[in-house]
Amino acid sequence: VLGPFEGQDDLAARQVRVVHTQRLQDDPPRLFRAVRYEQRFGFQLAPETLEQVPAGLAAIPALSGERARHELELIVAEPQAPAMLTRLASLGALAALHPALSWGEFQAQQAEVIPALPLDEWRLAGQIERLSVYLTLLLSDAAPGEARAALLRLDAGRRLAEAVLAALALRLAAGPA
């Protein structure tokens, strides 16, 4: 195998590295992909990649809502989604998408039950069910207006936005856990 960018060395070191400077700034979804690979394979972001994170975060607001939502859909489809969201939050990527998106210990604890949810039996369309559950958690600390704004930012669509807002309203009505 020929690897002009020292990929074999990165695999041996168990690290994810972007190969050119300004890659995260030029293509913000790369940060989301890097975190997916990092968490999926138990790797670490290379130091030079971590140095690029601030510039990449500054570019995230320019990311289209559809593309940002797609990156979240890819993340929530992964078994390691909670760890990925924890890492993205620690890097500031979730807040860069929208300040109302947050992920902490509470959300990670709540996410532990997601694999056991009977999503297929609920007969919702496609990935909307996983994404709606995770977005509800991501927006669980947000005021209703901020949650709506975040869903608009993510170009969530009517059905997804209604599902998330209804779940958040139920949570508010139930009171503190």
First vs last C-alpha separation in the chain: 53
128, 163, 168: which is closest to 145 by C-alpha?
A: 168
How does pLDDT run across 35-47, given as a tens digit for each residue?
999 999 999 998 9
Inform me whether the pLDDT recorded for 168 exceeds 60.
yes
pTM summary value: 0.87
Inform me whether the pLDDT recorded for 117 exceeds 90.
no
How does pLDDT run across 51-106, given as a tens digit for each residue?
999 999 999 999 999 999 999 999 999 999 999 999 999 999 999 999 999 999 99
pLDDT for the residue 25: 84
Residue type, 19: V
DSSP 88: H
